[in-house]
Amino acid sequence: MGSGMSGLLDGLANAALPLNLLWALIGCLLGTLVGILPGLGPASAMAILLPVAVYMPPDGAIIIMAGVYYGAMYGGSTTAILMNIPGEVASVVTAIDGFAMTRKGRAGEALAIAAIGSFLAGILCTLAIALIGPPLADLALDFGPPEYFGLVAFSMVALVSFAGRSLLLGLSMGVLGMWLASLGTDPLTGTQRLTFDNVQMMKGIDIIPLTVGLFGIGEVLFNAHARITHIYAGQLEAWYRMIPRGDQLARGLVSSLRGTLVGGVMGLLPGMVPALTTYLAYDLERKVSRHRDEMGHGAIEGVASPEAANNATAMTGFIPLLSLGIPTSPALAILLGTLVMNGLQPGPVLFAQHSDLVFTVIASMVVGNAMLLVLNLPLVGFWARISNVPYSVLGPIVLAVCVIGAYAPRNTITDVGIAIFFGIVGLLMRKLDWPMAPLILGFLMGPQLEQSLRQSLGMSNGDVTIFLTRPITVACLLAAATVAAITTWMKRRSHMIAKLIDEGANEV
Amino acid sequence: MLKSGRFLTLMLGTVLGAFGADEAMAEFPNKAVEIIVPVAAGGATDLGARVIAKALQDKWKVPVKVVNLPGGNTVPAIDELMRAPPDGYKVFMDSPSSSSLLAHAVPNLQHKITDRTFVTMLLQTQMMFAVPANSPIKTFDDMMAVIKKDPAVVSWTSLGGTGMIDMAFRRLFKAAGVDVATTRAVVSKGGSEAAVQTAGGHVTIGAASFGSFASFMSAGKVRPLAIAAAKRSALAPDVPTTAELGYPAVLAVQWNGIAGPPNMAREAVAVWHSTVEQLLKDPAVIAGLAKVSIEPLSGTGAEMAKLIATETADMAQLFPAR
């Protein structure tokens, strides 16, 4: 690679060219838009753009695609905070405290800290890509199946944080999520699981119709059922008064930094999609934040940390992508496609042979993130007013968007049916006060756990001691056991803390 | 997770359909064409389809759209094809996974493989054997020696039983005189994941397409040993073939062809085949395919049917029924 800092400065000069600025702007706007619409995530938008990108100059094509990618990461939180409807899967966690803040009339504050946290993560991770990027990419290779098994086993401890009032119920929801994820065609051997010879069931349940149903349709149905007229009926202030200040800003920034670290490191690993790292970042806040007692009831940390983690994961995913050609998420797989179609084969050679282009793209991320902040902060006031819109107007619009969102990813009407089914399930779960976040977490972790376990045993010929001979795996398993033990001990030890854990958990 | 151009396609199709109604009798093609790709956007098959789609669009002057219908072992995508009108406006990106290897992966298929119309051959990708850069195995012969010495410690990248990568390995183990059941198959979801496992040193031997390995080769993370083919690839001219090394039976070529719905109109089949044959000779198309590590493969629908029949018979031998 060219020397990091000077390369980045050259790149900034290129990224600031009017045409490149325009591509970044279009990408960011488009990304924010699809991020806001439930169901339409970055990967759908990028797949739609892929044919267009073939006709564009390489730097323009990659800048616009990257803009859509992180724009969507940004936009997904807006509806999560305002309506308790995650615009994309990674915002499920943000909805917990974000929506609680909206109901207290603090929507603007939540939106602003989401934007600020994302910006902070975006800038820090862009610098990380430029300055220390390529050597870090090897982490993606060092993590083999046994290491993933350890990591996912550790992540399962986070389930407790999202369990709600009953640990048993929370864990059951997590297991239910894993079970739902296992339906359809076994991704490794092609064996059919509970498909009953139905062609549509062979594809299994996709995460998008599931979240759109549970959160989007479920929320609209619940609000209609509860005869909610407005999400927040009180008066809202001007946008610049909504920006967090003083103590709140400080708390948000500290959480954002922690979220950036969690999300940034996890982003280097394939399969650690933002949705999963936001859970881990939130879990960390619940353990280390000085205001953990407020978590779940509208704590600014509950928005800042997952949003920063989300964006950090999205950003550092570029490191293994550019230096080794390893896409860490479906959206990045499409970006990889854009690169190779333009004749750019990722690898160390890419940094050497096309350093202009690589650094232009990296610099455009700095520009894009700044653009998103400038665009979004003034818009906070506008968005926040959505919480004042009569629900009789808002509800039907959201419902329509949900249906489109469920259809789009896989082009099948079956997914719309699945979304409506889970919408009714979501309504029931809300009525019974069952937590939904653990279900999504289980759904995300289940396939990872299964695959890494099977692959590890394939490597060792069925010998389970493989998990005890790999240092990273052992460390992860020990950490998981320690955290689980401490949490249990604390619960038993102090009634008060136990009460806090129960009450502090999400109420989604 | 989610991919689609279908929405756009549907809208475009509706608009263009309204214009095209008067000319329904005109020659094929006079309205938007759809290529169903049974895998997610971004992979080699998808990118190959997109290069071809763009070239067809320039030639035919009608929109040619790639529609991704991933998942379910390609069966739901095939189902979509079988229900399409046989006019050639909706076709399918066929491959061994959705034809010769499919019956083994999914035992009770709704449609017979031979029910669809085989239109034309299109593309090929060669499979390559490679080892981690720090492996003691330096050459193909080293690898054969290791396999023969103690097959029980040899782990390799499988895609779960069927698929070209597994075909390559089964032929390799057969050539070494080793029972595949005694070796360690590490199953992953796709060729790119198999390449990552190899580069990370988590398996003894890896196989994947040249494209999946390309980045790791340039990064010096893997050592290519051989291409499972009869002729060297233009994309990796330095890598020897299994045939040169004395193992001509260790072959595995991942091909793509176009298939249509049952009884597809003859005129449409003819136009498809002749246009594709022209495109595959076009240097711009060849260069576009080379960027995504794919090579052209010309052949008629009849040749495609024959290839599938041969492979299916071979499958029965290599993969005993489960």
CA distance B22 to chain A (A): 29
Enumerate the residues of chain B whose CB falls inside 8 A of the CB of residue A326: 192, 196, 215
Judged by a CB distance cut-off of 8 A, whether residue B59 touches chain A is no
- Nearest residue to A447 (alpha-carbon basis) of B193, B33, B319, B74: B193
The number of helices, as runs of H, and strands, as runs of E, in chain B is 11, 10
Return all residues near A102 (Cβ < 8 A) that are at least 6 apart: A81, A82, A110, A231, A232, A384, A387
pLDDT top residue among A506 and B83? B83
Phi and psi based region of residue A411 (left: phi greater than 0; alpha: psi -120 to 50; beta: remaining): left
Choose the mutation target among A455, A456, A457, A463 for the interface with B, i.e. most B CBs under 10 Å.
Answer: A455
* CB distance A388 to A181 below 8 Å: no
Judged by a CB distance cut-off of 8 A, whether residue B286 touches chain A is no
Interchain proximity A189–B73, CB inside 8 Å: no
Among A163-172, A266-275, A446-455, B264-273, top mean pLDDT goes to: B264-273
CA distance B254 to chain A (A): 19
Q: Can you tell me which residue has the tokens 């190959």?
A: B48
Q: What are phi and psi of B112, to 5 degrees?
A: -70, 145
Mean pLDDT for the stretch of residues A446-461: 89
* CB distance A90 to A274 below 8 Å: yes
Judged by a CB distance cut-off of 8 A, whether residue B50 touches chain A is yes
| Residues 231-260 of chain B whose Cβ lies under 8 A from any Cβ of chain A | none
pLDDT top residue among A10 and B135? B135
CA B55 to chain CA centroid, Å, is 19
Enumerate the residues of chain B whose CB falls inside 8 A of the CB of residue A89: 1
Q: Cα dihedral sign for A210, A212, A214, A218?
A: negative
Nearest CA in chain A to B154: A459
CA distance A109 to chain B (A): 31
Report how far residue A161's alpha carbon sits from residue A391's, in angstroms, rounded to the nearest whole number. Answer: 31
Judged by a CB distance cut-off of 8 A, whether residue B181 touches chain A is no
Judged by a CB distance cut-off of 8 A, whether residue B5 touches chain A is yes
Q: What are phi and psi of A346, to 5 degrees?
A: -60, 160
Enumerate the residues of chain A whose CB falls inside 8 A of the CB of residue B98: none
Nearest CA in chain B to A145: B202
Interchain proximity A412–B51, CB inside 8 Å: no
Pairing state between β B184-187 and B155-158: parallel
Flag the least confident range among A38-52, A316-330, B251-265: A38-52
Q: Going residue by residue through chain B (322 aa), what tens digit of pLDDT does each one get?
A: 333 444 444 444 444 444 444 444 468 999 999 999 998 887 788 889 999 999 999 999 999 989 888 878 888 899 999 999 999 999 999 999 899 988 877 777 888 999 999 999 999 998 999 999 999 999 999 999 999 999 999 999 988 766 788 889 999 999 999 998 899 999 887 888 899 999 999 999 999 988 889 889 988 999 999 999 999 988 889 999 999 999 999 988 899 999 999 999 999 999 999 999 999 999 999 999 998 889 999 999 999 999 999 998 888 888 776 5
Report how far residue A472's alpha carbon sits from residue A150's, in angstroms, rounded to the nearest whole number. Answer: 8
| Residues 268-287 of chain A whose Cβ lies under 8 A from any Cβ of chain B | 270, 273
- Nearest residue to B228 (alpha-carbon basis) of B175, B284, B159: B175
Q: How many CB atoms lie within 10 A of CB A297?
A: 16
State the virtual CA torsion across B99, B101, B102, B105 in degrees, nearest 10. 180
Enumerate the residues of chain B whose CB falls inside 8 A of the CB of residue A324: 199, 215-216, 219, 221
- Tokens (6 digits) for A438: 């653990």
pLDDT for res A502: 63
Q: Closest CB to B187: pick one of A142, A454, A461.
A: A454
Report how far residue A73's alpha carbon sits from residue A61's, in angstroms, rounded to the nearest whole number. Answer: 19
pLDDT top residue among A269 and A234? A269
Report how far residue B83's alpha carbon sits from residue A399's, in angstroms, rounded to the nearest whole number. Answer: 30
Peptide bond into B85 cis (omega under 30): no
- Tokens (6 digits) for A28: 């960011």
Enumerate the residues of chain B whose CB falls inside 8 A of the CB of residue A142: 200
Choose the mutation target among A148, A194, A210, A410 for the interface with B, i.e. most B CBs under 10 Å.
Answer: A410
Return all residues near A203 (Cβ < 8 A) that are at least 6 apart: A184, A185, A410, A412, A414, B70, B71, B72, B76
Enumerate the residues of chain B whose CB falls inside 8 A of the CB of residue A323: 219
pLDDT top residue among A469 and A355? A469
Choose the mutation target among B97, B162, B215, B322 for the interface with A, i.e. most A CBs under 10 Å.
Answer: B215
pLDDT at A2 over 50: no
**Which of the four pLDDT bands, split at 50, 70 and 90, describes residue A508?**
very low
pLDDT top residue among A496 and A268? A268
Enumerate the residues of chain A whose CB falls inside 8 A of the CB of residue B155: 458-459
Q: Cα dihedral sign for B235, B237, B242, B244?
A: positive
Report how far residue B72's alpha carbon sits from residue A214's, in angstroms, rounded to the nearest whole number. Answer: 23
pLDDT at A375 over 60: yes
CA distance A401 to chain B (A): 14
Give B54-77 pLDDT, tens digit per residue.
999 999 999 998 988 887 888 889
pLDDT for res A505: 57
* CB distance B129 to B157 below 8 Å: no
pLDDT for res A492: 67
* CB distance B164 to B175 below 8 Å: no
Share of chain A above pLDDT 90, in %: 24
